[in-house]
Amino acid sequence: MRFAHHVFVCENRRDPADPKGCCAAKGSEVIRTALKAEVARRGLKGQVRVNAAGCLDACADGPTIVVYPEGVWYARVRLEDVPELVESHLVNGVPVERLRSPRFR
């Protein structure tokens, strides 16, 4: 089955002393859960797949999310950003510019 969008949410865990930090400590697991719930609520199951990802090498800017097939990277995503991200990008095909990662443009 091919999905219209495949969303990867970094849930990498690093030692708390690591200066980069980690996405999991910044709430990425809760964000992934909320994304899955919002996708289901909007009837997008089967069209959009949301998965946990290991390190995306951007934890300093986390929580980090990448959406394929577009290859759009999001940085510093917060729980309250989830509905906008789903509506704008996954439903309407318009990336949320204010959340785009400057490192991966």
- Contact yes or no for 21/28 (Cβ under 8 A): no
pLDDT at 1: 58
Q: Would you state the structure tokens that stand for residue 84, as one six-digit string?
A: 């906008």
> What pLDDT, on the 0 to 100 scale, is given for residue 22?
87
Those residues with Cβ within 8 angstroms of residue 9's Cβ, 6 or more apart along the chain or in another chain: 23, 28, 31, 32, 35, 50, 51, 52, 53, 63, 64, 65
Q: pLDDT at position 63, please?
A: 94
pLDDT averaged per 10 residues, the chain (length 105):
91 85 90 97 95 90 94 96 97 96 83
